Amino acid sequence: MRPSIVILTGARNVGKSTVCQKTVDLARAAGYTCNGLLTLKRTGGVLDVVDVQSGVQSGERRPLTADHRSTHTVIQGRFLFDAETIAWGNEVLRLARGCQLLVVDELGPLEIERGGGWQAALDLLREGDFALALVVVRPELVEQLQRRFPPEATTIFTVDAHNRDELSAQIVTMLEAVLNREADGYTHVLE
């Protein structure tokens, strides 16, 4: 399998997680397997992480941000992350191998600069045990992440108010192209 990585970036609150959620919905409706993590914001700015495989609407969900420091808190900038949720999320990502669509929402300074957070996602992205990965990354970290992979393996989409409604369909079309390329390669080997 020759996987593709779509890096989704853009300003805060522009709709990157919404694009991810809609992409999962479209991919599932087309019969594709979807795994990974999706980060959703609750009222009050609290962030939750959802296991994509179990379902965005009713799936397993854990609080990512903590409201106070404790022995189970990871500090990154202005965020306090729940260490138990990070451990759970890494386990979800370790089990995400072999899917058609992998979603990682999001990789930030904790992962890219500090070597913490969703390290299992970085391992999985390097191994390529998926057809297409959809990875949310802050604009200032895109280059650092992109340098970790062959240039031909990555595509960057910057989400904005003009394109966010069409991106999900475009990403599923890319997934279909990757899977068709893989199927064509398999057919040629058999001939």
Residue 143 pLDDT grade (very low, low, confident, very high; cuts 50, 70, 90) = very high
Q: Is the pLDDT of residue 132 over 80?
A: yes
Q: Residue 186's pLDDT is what?
A: 45
91-109 pLDDT, tens digit each: 999 999 999 999 999 999 9
51-70 pLDDT, tens digit each: 999 876 666 888 877 665 54
Higher confidence at residue 118 or residue 81? 118
Q: Is the pLDDT of residue 1 over 50?
A: no
180: how many CB neighbours lie within 10 A of its CB?
Answer: 10
User: Which tokens sit at 82?
Assistant: 């729940």
Q: Residue 92's pLDDT is what?
A: 95
* Contact indicator for 148, 1 with CB cutoff of 8 Å: no
Pure H helices in 13-71: 16-29
Name the CATH topology of 4-39+97-190: Rossmann fold (3.40.50)
Mean of pLDDT values over 139-161:
93
Q: Could you give the CA distance from residue 147 to residue 7 in angstroms, rounded to a whole number?
A: 12
Q: What percent of the chain has pLDDT over 90?
A: 65
Mean of pLDDT values over 43-49:
82
Q: Is the pLDDT of residue 14 over 90?
A: yes
Q: Residue 6's pLDDT is what?
A: 97
Pure H helices in the chain: 16-29, 83-94, 109-112, 119-127, 142-146, 164-190
Q: Residue 187's pLDDT is what?
A: 38
Mean of pLDDT values over 157-180:
96
